[in-house]
Amino acid sequence: LDIVQHLEYLITNFKDYAKENGLELSFESSEKELWMDYDANQVKQILTNLISNALKFTNSGGRIHVSLTAVDQQVYIQVRDTGIGIAKAEQEKIFERFYQVDQGNTRVGEGTGIGLAHSKELVSLMGGSITMESEPGMGSVFGLTLPSS
């Protein structure tokens, strides 16, 4: 399947929601197309979780940018936002099942705390990895690396 086309389609599904909430959602790729073996449903679940979280924790006027880069038989997908960020003390726990960052302003869009843990499990099943960098008040960057061969 062409993962570039798949990501464009997934992101398009969030564009209206982002616009209605005063957010800019964009996508760019280093490749015009990239045909590879991957589980489209798993990638959909992972990206839906990452983009949904970015939209949930980014205030009006903010930006969410998704990018895809292919290097040496690896695909790197990045979801970058200008949201509220995650405190350093919370970052090591963010991929644990049922863990939720307990900040008053994040509880508005309360979830179950399994999305990121499930995403990490799915990425591992596909032979990839997921990382996160965040700075409170500056946003977060989630990176997904998958084999492209």
pLDDT tens track of the chain, all 149 residues?
A: 999 999 999 999 999 999 999 999 999 999 999 999 999 999 999 999 999 999 999 999 999 999 999 999 999 999 999 999 988 888 777 767 655 555 454 444 455 557 888 999 999 999 999 999 999 999 999 999 999 98
pLDDT at res. 87? 86
Q: How far apart are CA 113 and CA 111, in angstroms?
A: 6
pLDDT at res. 106? 44
Q: How far apart are CA 83 and CA 105, in angstroms?
A: 11
CA angle centred on 82, ends 81 and 87, rounded to 5°: 95
pLDDT at res. 86? 87
pLDDT at res. 105? 47
pLDDT at res. 4? 98
Residues whose CB falls within 8 Å of the CB of residue 27, separated by 6 or more in sequence, listed in order: 7, 8, 11, 65, 66, 67, 68
Q: How far apart are CA 92 and CA 76, in angstroms?
A: 21
Report residue 9: phi and psi, to 5°.
-65, -45
DSSP state, residue 35: B
